[in-house]
Structure 1
Amino acid sequence: MDRRHFLASTACFAGVAATPGIAQNLPVQKFASATLGDVQHHFQQEYAEQMNQAGVLTVELYPASQLGPIPSMVNGVMLGSIETFITATAFLSQVDPRFQVFDVAALLSDPVKTRALFASDQACARIEGYGDGRNVLPLSTFVHSPNAIISKSPIETIDDLAGLKIRVLGSPFQIEPMRAVGATPVPMPLSEVMPALQTGAIDAVVSSPTVATAFRYHDAAAHMVIIDSWPLVVTMANSRSWFDALPEATQSTLRTTVRAVEQDAVAWGAADVERARTAWADAGGSLHATDPTFEAELQTAIAESTAPLIAGSPALAGEVAAMESIAASIS
C-alpha cells in the first residue's frame, strides 16, 4: 500500500487508540497531532500501545488535526484541555522563545551530533524547562526529518532561489533566510500549499520530504532537493498540571516509555525519509543531489540572516550558548 492510500484508508478511524483490556477509570491522556502517517503519528501509536498495555493511563489518539488547528491545540495544552500534543517546535515559539533554539540551523547541522544532543540527559533536562510558567512540559524532542525544497524548476545553486515565491513556516528562522537569498517567503497553512503550487501563487515550498511525498507535491512541483544539514524538529508537549497530578509511579512509567518510543521513532523516521525518496522518484518526481557548495552557502545565509534574531532575544541567545556547551561536552 502506498503512502497516499495509507493516509486515505486510516483517516476515517484514526481517533481513539483501541487496545483490548484497558482498565476503566484510569487517567485519560488525549494525545493530538496535526499529521497522519508520519513519524509523529508513529510515535503516538507506539506510545499509546505501550502505555495502554502498562495499564496506568488510557491514551486516546487524535491525529490529523482532529482537535483543531495547530494554534488551538497549543492553547489546549496550555489550558489543560489537551493533555499532549506532538508538533514542530516552531509552533511553540510563542509559548517560550527558547523553543526557537531548534530553528538555529548551525547548532543542528550535523545529523549525528544532533541525535546525540537530543539523547543526552543534560539536554533533555534543560528542554523540560521550556514552557515552564505556560503549563507546557516537553518530554521528548527529536528530528522529524531534514527539510527539503520542493520546486517547479531545479534548485542546483543558491542563485536558483532568487526571485522565487517560497512557502515557509511562519517562523522568522525560515522567513529571513529566504529573504537573504533573494526569494520571497510566503508563510501559509499546510492545507493551502498544494492549491498555491497549482495556481502559481508560489513556486516552491520548504517542507519535510515525507510530507511532500504524502501530499503528492510532485504533481505540481516535480523537483526536490533535501538539505540534510537543516532539520525539522518536533517535540511532545504535555500539560504540566496534568503530568504533575499523576501518581509518581505513573510519571516514571510515562518517562521510561517516552524515551524508548523516541529511540524507535528516530530509527523509523530515518527509514521513512528513505521511503519518501523512493516514492517521490517512483511517482515521477526528480530528486536532486545536494551540492556541497550550495548547502554551505545556504547555511551561511541562514546563519547571517538569523544572527540578529538570536542577538535580539537574551533568552534565546542564552539557550543557544547552553546547547552549544552541552553539544561540545558530548562530542
Structure 2
Amino acid sequence: MAAIPALLLAACTTAPTDEGSGDEQTFELTLAHSYTEAQPQHRCGAQVIADEVAAADVGLTIEIFPSSQLGGDADRIASVASGDIDIDIQGASALGAVYEPISVLDAAYAFDDADHLAAFMASEESDVLTAGFAEAAGVYTLGAWSAGARHFTANTPIRTPEDLAGLRMRFPGSPQYLMNARALGATATEVAYEELYLALQQGTVDGQENPITNIVASNLVEVQDYISMSAHQLNTNLVIMSSKWNDLSERQQEALTAAVVTAVENVTECIAEDEETILAEWREGGEWEVIEDVDRDAFQERAVAYLEENFTGEALEIFQAIRATSD
C-alpha cells in the first residue's frame, strides 16, 4: 500500500547531521501526528516506522512528536511543505486544504474496507492522485492505511438515513466531511474534536461519528446511549514527507519505504484487533447499546448517488476509480 513518491517541487531546507559511510549522509528526521501514544496510529504506525528505520542501520533516525505537539493538522501540512517537519501522518480530508481532490479518499462509502483501500493504493489511478498532490503541495505520499470505519453515536438508534432526521450530528468542519453529512442525510453541526465530549454532555449536539478507537479515546460512552454500526466512511491516513526525501540515498529511501509498508500492515492489524476487543467489551458490559442491524445498503445507495451527482471534474474521476476497484 505504500505509494511510489511522485515528482516533488518544494526545496529542502533541513541539513544532514554529519557524513555517513562513503557518500551517504546521516539524517535525523522528525515525524509528527495528532494521535495519542495509546492509539494504533502511533504505537503500530509511527513507532513501527521509527523502529524499522533504526533497525535498517542506514544512517536514519526518526524522532516522533505525537498529540499535535508540532501544531494542528493545518499547521503541520504547511510545515511539511516548507520542510520544517520531515514526515507527518494526516487524514485525507485535512490534506484536501492544499489539494482538494485527495480529500475524496474520505468520501462516504468510497471504500468498502481496508482491503479495498489497499487495492486502490496499488492501482495506477492512485499514482495519478499522489502525483497531483505532490505537484500541487510539494509533498511526497509514502503510504496510506485505514484507521478504521466511522460509526454514528447518539442517544437514539440510527438504523436508516431517516433516523438522522431532526438530529444535530457533529461532523468535522472540512468540506468533504460536510459533503458526507449531506450525502448521508444528516444535519451537520461543526464542533472541534477537543470540545466534542462537552458538546454531547451539554446537548449542544445530539450525536457524532468517529472510528471506534477515537470514540474510546474520547470516552464518548459516558455521554451517549447508542453506537450504530454504520461503517459509513473509512478513516484514511496518509504518511507524507517533505522534500527531504530528495536528500536521502537510494538505500535510505528503500529502508524508509519498507518501514512504511510494514507500518501499514501493522496498523491495519492493530485497528482490527483493537476494534474486536472493544466491541466485545461493549456488547458484554452494557455501558451502551451496540446497534448491529444498521441498513448499510440504504446509507450506501443514498451516499454514492449523491456523491456521483455532486462531485465534478477530477474529484468525480477519483471517486469512480475508487469504486471501480471494489470487489
Verify same fold: TM over 0.5.
yes
The answer for the alignment partner of 1:131 in structure 2 is 133
Q: In the aligned structure 1, how far is the partner of 2:319 from the partner of 2:219?
A: 36
* Structure 1 position 305, deviation (Å): 3.0
**Is this contact kept in 1: 2:114–2:145, CA < 8 A?**
no
1:38 maps to amino acid: Q
Q: In the aligned structure 2, how far is the partner of 1:105 from the partner of 1:179?
A: 10
Count, aligned residues: 299
**Is this contact kept in 2: 1:177–1:305, CA < 8 A?**
no
1:28 maps to amino acid: E
Q: In the aligned structure 2, how far is the partner of 1:323 from the partner of 1:301?
A: 17
The answer for the alignment partner of 2:210 in structure 1 is 207
CA RMSD of aligned residues (A): 2.3
Correspondence 1:157 to 2:156: no
- Normalising by structure 2, what TM-score? 0.83
Determine which structure has greater relative contact order: mean sequence separation of CA pairs < 8 Å that are 6+ residues apart, divided by chain length.
2
Correspondence 1:84 to 2:87: yes
* Structure 1 position 287, deviation (Å): 1.2
* Structure 1 position 127, deviation (Å): 4.5
1:250 maps to amino acid: Q
The answer for the alignment partner of 1:267 in structure 2 is 269
1:109 maps to amino acid: D
Q: In the aligned structure 2, how far is the partner of 1:177 from the partner of 1:83?
A: 31
Which of 280-289 and 152-161 deviates more? Answer: 280-289
* Structure 1 position 255, deviation (Å): 0.9
**Is this contact kept in 2: 1:147–1:208, CA < 8 A?**
yes
Q: In the aligned structure 2, how far is the partner of 1:126 from the partner of 1:87?
A: 19
CA offsets 1:13-57 (integer angstroms, 9 cap, x no match): xxxxxxxxxx9x831211111111222112001111111222321
Q: In the aligned structure 2, how far is the partner of 1:206 from the partner of 1:67?
A: 26
CA offsets 1:271-317 (integer angstroms, 9 cap, x no match): 122123234443712211033xx212211232233334412xx2222
The answer for the alignment partner of 1:251 in structure 2 is 253
Which of 127-136 and 60-69 deviates more? Answer: 127-136
Residue 104 of structure 2 is aligned with which of 101, 114, 118? 101
Alignment of 1:220-299 (within 5 A): 220-228=223-231, 230-239=233-242, 241-281=243-283, 282=285, 284-291=287-294, 294-299=295-300
- Cα distance change of structure 1 residues 244 and 154 upon mapping to structure 2, 3 Å threshold: same
The answer for the alignment partner of 1:304 in structure 2 is 305
Overall identity of the aligned pairs, in %: 22
Q: In the aligned structure 1, how far is the partner of 2:232 from the partner of 2:109?
A: 8
2:297 maps to amino acid: A
The answer for the alignment partner of 1:11 in structure 2 is none
Q: In the aligned structure 2, how far is the partner of 1:280 from the partner of 1:33?
A: 28
1:231 maps to amino acid: L
**Is this contact kept in 1: 2:108–2:303, CA < 8 A?**
yes
Runs of 4+ aligned structure 1 residues displaced above 6 Å come to none
1:107 maps to amino acid: A
Q: In the aligned structure 2, how far is the partner of 1:95 from the partner of 1:321?
A: 22
The answer for the alignment partner of 1:35 in structure 2 is 35
2:317 maps to amino acid: G
* Structure 1 position 221, deviation (Å): 0.7
